[in-house]
């Protein structure tokens, strides 16, 4: 499958900001499941972009804008050829970290009593049927306990809060899944990326927004395997992977700070389409 992506993030301010620095995790890696055909990042007004690799192996561009501005627009355009690997990433990424690093909890993925109780429901499946069956059990339980409701949460919502509210979006589903899997003693991590909403399998699913998030678990014999609780499946050729980390904060496509600038308004537009192949 060949997917085209256009992703625009625009900040506007009531009064100009003096300085901005952003980490852009907006460049997909080349993997068995995806090959980048073309990709570019455009910034307006012109800013300083420095490419680097973060501690998780993600490709990052550090954006620095050191002058007054009342608008900052970051636009990504690209084409990626994807292959359905049934969610199996293996050890294909340039990530030298031990999988055990991803057993570590974070403020967004700390298990409370309610999450621990759900993990205890899955533990017999893990012991009797193995890790793959347990991951699918967690997949079903996550979607069953947290309904997909747009706008119900924000970037600061924890897995425990999303479960308590019983609603959330793909970010919350990923955090709940990760928290439960780590509670079972299996490494898990957060993944950001894109999903083509034109795929017939996802056309009616509320979790099929173009900008998307899911999770990966480390399974012996398979390596990293993706699971998308919002859609109840493992990633297919309709998915493009951008970055991964312990939680959303490590893998957010755009994250940074500014000096001055009030009345901030953020607008994000993401468009992913399938391109006809020759």
Residue pLDDT tens, the chain, 278 long: 999 999 999 999 999 999 999 999 999 999 989 999 999 999 999 999 999 999 999 999 999 999 999 999 999 999 999 999 999 997 767 677 899 999 999 999 999 999 999 999 999 999 999 999 999 999 999 999 999 999 889 889 999 999 999 999 999 999 999 999 999 999 999 999 999 976 444 433 444 457 899 999 999 999 999 999 999 999 999 999 999 999 999 999 999 999 988 888 999 999 999 886 55
Q: Do domains 1-80+253-272 and 86-250 have the same CATH topology?
A: no
CATH architecture for residues 86-250: Roll (3.10)
Beta strands in the chain (DSSP E): 2-24, 34-44, 48-53, 59-65, 69-82, 88-90, 147-148, 167-168, 188-195, 211-219, 223-227, 239-245, 254-262, 265-275
**How would you classify the pairing of strands 59-65 and 167-168?**
unpaired
**Domain covering 1-80+253-272 in this structure, CATH number:** 2.60.40.2250
Whole-structure pTM value: 0.92
Contact partners, residue 278, CB within 8 Å, separation at least 6: none
**Tokens of residue 15, six digits:** 């009064």
Cis peptide before 45 (omega within 30 of 0): yes
Residue by residue, what is the 3-state secondary structure of 32-69?
A: CCEEEEEEEEEEECCCEEEEEECCCCCEEEEEEECCCE
- Domain spans of the chain? 1-80+253-272, 86-250
Beta strands in 83-133 (DSSP E): 88-90
Q: Report whether 256 contacts 17 (CB < 8 A).
A: no
Which residue bears the tokens 């049927």?
129
């Amino acid at each position: 499958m060949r997917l085209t992506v256009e992703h625009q993030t625009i900040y506007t301010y009531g009064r100009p900001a003096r300085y901005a620095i952003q980490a852009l995790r907006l460049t997909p890696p080349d993997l068995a499941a995806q090959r980048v055909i073309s990709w570019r990042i455009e910034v307006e007004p012109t800013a300083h972009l420095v490419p680097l690799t973060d501690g998780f192996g993600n490709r990052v561009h550090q954006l620095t804008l050191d002058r007054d501005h009342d608008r900052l627009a970051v636009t990504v355009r690209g084409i990626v050829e994807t292959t359905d690997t049934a969610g199996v990433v293996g050890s294909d990424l340039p990530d030298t970290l031990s999988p055990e690093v991803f057993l570590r909890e974070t403020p967004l993925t700390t298990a409370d009593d309610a999450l621990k109780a759900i993990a205890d429901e899955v533990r017999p499946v893990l012991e009797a049927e193995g890790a793959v069956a347990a991951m699918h059990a967690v997949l079903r339980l996550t979607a069953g306990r947290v309904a997909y409701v747009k706008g119900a949460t924000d970037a600061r919502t924890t897995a425990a809060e999303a479960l308590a509210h019983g609603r959330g979006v793909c970010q919350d589903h990923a955090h709940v899944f990760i928290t439960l899997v780590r509670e079972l003693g299996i490494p898990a991590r957060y993944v950001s990326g894109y999903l083509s909403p034109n795929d017939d399998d996802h056309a009616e699913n509320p979790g099929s927004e173009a900008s998307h998030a899911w999770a990966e678990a480390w399974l012996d014999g398979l390596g990293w395997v993706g699971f998308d609780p919002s859609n109840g499946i493992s990633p297919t050729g309709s998915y493009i992977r951008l970055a991964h980390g312990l939680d959303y904060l490590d893998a957010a496509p755009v994250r940074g700070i500014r000096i001055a600038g009030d009345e901030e308004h953020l607008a994000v537009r993401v468009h992913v389409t399938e391109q006809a192949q020759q």
